[in-house]
Structure formats: C-alpha cells, structure tokens
C-alpha cells in the first residue's frame, strides 16, 4: 500500500491487518503537508510503518502522532513511530482513562474485557482533552472526547471533516465491549458528533462517510432496535443470561463474531439495568441472570 491523496491535506494508507473486526484494515491518515500529523499509526507492522514514512515527500517530517484510542490496531505502532521520528504521541490518556462510573465498578469487580485487543502498555506523551486545539504544521485539529466504543476514544475535527476512529464507521456498527465500552457514553458521543454538523467523517475502517447526519441516525436506530429486541426476548422467554440472549438474537452471526455479539448484548443490558428496566441476579455481571423489571 502507498499513501493515497483523499483530498487537499488528507492522505490515507490502509494497514495490512484485515479481519472480521477491522474490515480491509486500519486507515492511517496523514494530515497536512510538510510538518504532518499521522493519525492512528495502526498495528506494529514494520512494513506498514515504513510505508507511512516512505510515502512522505523528501522534505516532509512527522510533527505529531495522533491516536484515537488504545486498541492495538490503532495505537500499537505509535511508540515505534515516535522513536523513529521524534514526534510526540497525542491521545486522551492511558487505556483506562475516561471510563464511566458503572464501568469503573464492573472493572473493579473483576470484569475483564472481551479480548478485543486492548493496547495495555499504551501511553501518550501529551494528553488532549475535549475541545483542545492542536496545530504543529499547516493543519489544525480539535479533539472531541467520544467514548463508547472505547473509554479513551478521541475523534479529531479538521475543518469540515471529523476523523471518527471506531465510533462511527461506514461498513459496520461499532463493537461496545464493557468495561472499555459503554453504550450510554456511545449515545452521548453520537450527540457530540451530530452537534458538530461536519460535512464528512473519515472512519478508521472503511470509506469516508459523506452524509454524517444520516449515518448517525442510522446507528442510533440500530441500537434502539437491538434494545427493543432484548426486551422482547426477555418478555417472551423469561429471565436469561447474556449468552442465552445472544444465542436467541444473533442467530445468523458467524462463530468468530459470537464473542463480539455477546459483549454488545451485555453493553445493552448494563444500560437497561441503569435505566431500571431490567434487573440482574445476583449482581450486575456479564453472566448474571437478567429479567424485566415489573415496570419495564
């Protein structure tokens, strides 16, 4: 793969890590010309990191490395690239930064992630909060705190475009896997992105999204339908575990995506428990027994 010019000031190169969760692979974006920013260096694949550097013009240098979130397919190559270029890594914080209160509690009680590739050793050189502007070349971005898929997730606004990482993608809805993912945070992040009224979204996987408002509405509707499906299944079948609910709902999901489906269903159950529509026995946990509340 080589750097491909998408529009003035935005180049892209796709990392060679295709999978059922990454589509064709991770999009690494290069912002600006001259003193550029590399957004999501991708996994630690030597040929990919080399291709990013080889794709730059002879007079160009990397001034900043921006990371949307601490999943290996986005952040793992950041440290190597930083060492090779001297550019600092910018992100919201370490992997646990930005966790919601309910997810802090679940994590403290021992809930492990779903094995979807947390970059446990990730750390930024400099942290960016919501609304922070950064410009180290002929480009400028504003960080938008957008947790939900992952607690330390940032999106980056540049002009009329937003780089949305894994929060909004064109090819698939996003994985929400507690305790790193939180459905309530995800809904709020969709609101944050909607309020920006941007013209185009550049996701970390898949093609640019040219009608952001429509895509945001579609994603919200998809989650609302899933919530209704979970409530209807509980009404039909009575109390059930996450695994039983997933088996009843995701009947045509291939085996390699069943784990992701279970994490998503659990994320919905956490949100329903918070809203007082389901209860968990004995306590809120991924393999608790969930039942409708009388008023739910």
Site residues (CB under 5 A) for Zn ion? Answer: 71, 166
Q: Taking phi first (over 0 means left), then psi (-120 to 50 degrees means alpha), and beta for anything else, what does residue 238 get?
A: left
To the nearest whole angstrom, how small is the minimum distance from the Cβ of residue 294 to Zn ion? 37
CA dihedral sign, ordered 266, 268, 269, 270: positive
**Choice between 146 and 241, CB closer to Zn ion:** 146
To the nearest whole angstrom, how small is the minimum distance from the Cβ of residue 166 to Zn ion? 4
Residue nearest Zn ion, CB atom distance: 71
To the nearest whole angstrom, how small is the minimum distance from the Cβ of residue 194 to Zn ion? 21
**Choice between 74 and 268, CB closer to Zn ion:** 74
Give the whole-angstrom CA distance, residue 77 versus residue 57. Answer: 21
- Angle (CA) 40-23-220 rounded to 5° is 85
**Choice between 133 and 222, CB closer to Zn ion:** 222
**Choice between 74 and 262, CB closer to Zn ion:** 74
Helix (H) or strand (E) holding 89: strand 89-91
To the nearest whole angstrom, how small is the minimum distance from the Cβ of residue 232 to Zn ion? 29
To the nearest whole angstrom, how small is the minimum distance from the Cβ of residue 77 to Zn ion? 14
To the nearest whole angstrom, how small is the minimum distance from the Cβ of residue 42 to Zn ion? 12
| Upstream peptide bond of 282 is cis (omega within 30 degrees of 0) | yes
**Choice between 44 and 60, CB closer to Zn ion:** 44
Q: How far is CA 141 from CA 136, 154, 160, 257, in A?
A: 10, 11, 11, 34
**Choice between 71 and 79, CB closer to Zn ion:** 71
**Choice between 71 and 223, CB closer to Zn ion:** 71
Q: Which of 234, 211, 233 is nearest to 281 (CA)?
A: 234
- Compute how many other C-beta atoms are within 10 angstroms of the C-beta atom of residue 218: 12
Give the whole-angstrom CA distance, residue 287 versus residue 79. Answer: 36
Q: CB within 8 A of 260, min separation 6: which ones?
A: 21, 114, 116, 175, 177
Give the whole-angstrom CA distance, residue 16 versus residue 43. Answer: 9
Helix (H) or strand (E) holding 188: helix 183-195
To the nearest whole angstrom, how small is the minimum distance from the Cβ of residue 101 to Zn ion? 22
């Amino acid at each position: 793969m080589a750097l491909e010019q998408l529009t003035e000031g935005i180049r892209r190169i796709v990392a060679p890590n295709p999978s059922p969760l990454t589509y064709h692979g991770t999009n690494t974006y290069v912002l600006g010309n001259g003193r550029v920013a590399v957004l999501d260096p991708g996994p630690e694949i030597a040929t990919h990191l080399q291709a990013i550097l080889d794709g730059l013009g002879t007079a160009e240098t990397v001034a900043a490395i921006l990371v949307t979130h601490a999943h290996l397919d986005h952040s793992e190559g950041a440290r190597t690239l930083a060492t090779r270029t001297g550019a600092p890594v910018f992100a919201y914080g370490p992997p646990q930064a930005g966790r919601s209160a309910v997810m802090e509690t679940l994590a403290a009680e021992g809930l492990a992630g779903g094995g979807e590739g947390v970059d446990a050793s990730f750390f930024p050189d400099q942290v960016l909060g919501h609304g922070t502007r950064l410009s180290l070349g002929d480009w400028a971005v504003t960080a938008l705190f957008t947790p939900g898929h992952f607690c330390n997730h940032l999106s980056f606004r540049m002009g009329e475009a937003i780089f949305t990482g894994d929060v909004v993608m064109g090819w698939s809805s996003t994985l929400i896997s507690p305790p790193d993912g939180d459905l309530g945070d995800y809904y709020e992040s969709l609101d944050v992105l909607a309020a920006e009224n941007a013209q185009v979204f550049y996701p970390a996987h898949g093609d640019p999204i040219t009608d952001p408002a429509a895509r945001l509405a579609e994603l919200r509707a998809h989650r609302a339908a899933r919530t209704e499906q979970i409530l209807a299944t509980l009404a039909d079948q009575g109390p059930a575990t996450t695994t039983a609910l997933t088996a009843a709902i995701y009947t045509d999901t291939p085996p390699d995506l069943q784990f992701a489906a279970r994490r998503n269903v659990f994320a919905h159950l956490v949100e329903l428990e918070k809203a007082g529509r389901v209860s968990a026995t004995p306590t809120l946990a991924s393999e608790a027994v969930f039942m409708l509340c009388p008023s739910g």
